[in-house]
Amino acid sequence: MADVARLAGVSHQTVSRVINGSERVAPATRDRVQAAMRLLDYRPNSMARALVTGRSRTVGVIGFNTTLFGPASTLYGIEGSAHEAEYLTSVVSMPEVNRDSVLLAVERLRRHNVEGVLLLASESSAIAALAPVSRELPLVALEAEPIHGIPTVTIDQYGGAVSATRHLLELGHRRIAHIAGPAGSLEAQLRLAGCRDTLAEAGHRLPAGTGFGDWSAGSGYEICVRLLEQDPDVTAIFVANDQMALGALRALDEAGRRVPADVSIVGFDAVPESGFFTPPLTTIHQDFVAIGRRGFEALRDRIENGDGPATHQVLEFELLVRASTGPPPAGA
């Protein structure tokens, strides 16, 4: 910076003014300074600036299964939004969700002076762990429970589950099972609750022993195999995400049950591949990227304008009816 100032024949402060786009600089001077900056390939040192302003213009993201389509897409949305606002995104991916790992992640981010943190985890334990932190550091939780005064952005998981279940009821199904996500996950709980409540309203109930998977195709497969043994009369299964639904599809195929002629399947998430499953999967679409964008905006608002009351944004979902659902077999 001193070099630039010297070359342009001004003081370092004037250079600083040019960098920061201050009004109080004569156009001629501004041009001279900019020319000097270009000539010297000068790049302001963000660390020095951050030190004096106390602002790092960096936000942290804490994620877990970031290799999954959902979180990866949300991260993409966050990054896109952050980019536009000239923030940098720092990611911490933990292999497992628990109190300690969340605290470790946030500590790591704080040490690097992030200005705020986005939590990408629906485990209520993760949010609970961060509740005290949120008083010192702006925090927004995505796909999370609106508790502890932490702002959240989610889609209407419960509503999506209701919609999926209604779809099956409307097709005439009566014996409907659910393959749930991890028991500790709020999303999984809401999807289960939405399904159960909707069935109850219609005078039906979930078969006993709903299995809790881990979102993976493998777990969906295993749970479905068990389900078919325990309850061969099931004519429809609402599966808590598309990957597990794929596993269920595989299990049904191996069991010789046709989809949707014998059993209908509904998934959740609408991953891009789901339209190419055999058969193409009926599922609930949620806009992960939008969640990320909204999440970042909410965080930025808290960073720049301080704590207001915590907002809880709920985005819309969409039922995508494809070929994996149809009326139950005549005999059922």
Give the footprint of DNA on this chain (CB under 7 A): 1-2, 9-17, 19-20, 23-26, 28-30, 43-45, 48-49, 51-54
14 binds, among its own copies, DNA, none (CB under 5 to 8 A by kind): DNA
DSSP state of 155: E
252/229 Cα distance (integer angstroms) = 11
310/302 Cα distance (integer angstroms) = 9
Q: Which is nearer to DNA, 20 or 278 (CB)?
A: 20
Task: Give the shortest CB-43-to-its own copies separation in angstroms.
Answer: 6
Could you give the 3-state DSSP secondary structure of residue 314?
A: strand
* Tokens standing for residue 250: 């595989």
Q: In 214-287, which ranges are continuous DSSP H helix?
A: 217-230, 242-254
Using CB under 8 A, count the residues that bind its own copies.
Answer: 53
Which of 22, 46, 125, 230 is close enough to bind its own copies by CB under 8 A? 46
Residue 14 is a binding residue for its own copies (CB under 8 A): no
% helix / strand / coil in the chain, to the nearest 5?
A: 45, 15, 35
Binders of its own copies among residues 80 to 139 (CB under 8 A) are: 80, 83, 88-93, 95, 108-113
Residue 243 is a binding residue for its own copies (CB under 8 A): yes
Q: Which is nearer to its own copies, 72 or 320 (CB)?
A: 72
**Contact, 97 vs 184, CB < 8 A?**
yes
Q: Which is nearer to its own copies, 75 or 142 (CB)?
A: 75
318/105 Cα distance (integer angstroms) = 34
Cα 38 → chain centroid = 41
Residue 278 is a binding residue for its own copies (CB under 8 A): yes
* Tokens standing for residue 135: 């008083």
Residues that bind its own copies (CB under 8 A): 43-48, 50-51, 56-58, 66-69, 72-73, 75-76, 79-80, 83, 88-93, 95, 108-113, 216-218, 220-221, 243, 246-247, 249-250, 253, 272-273, 275-278, 280
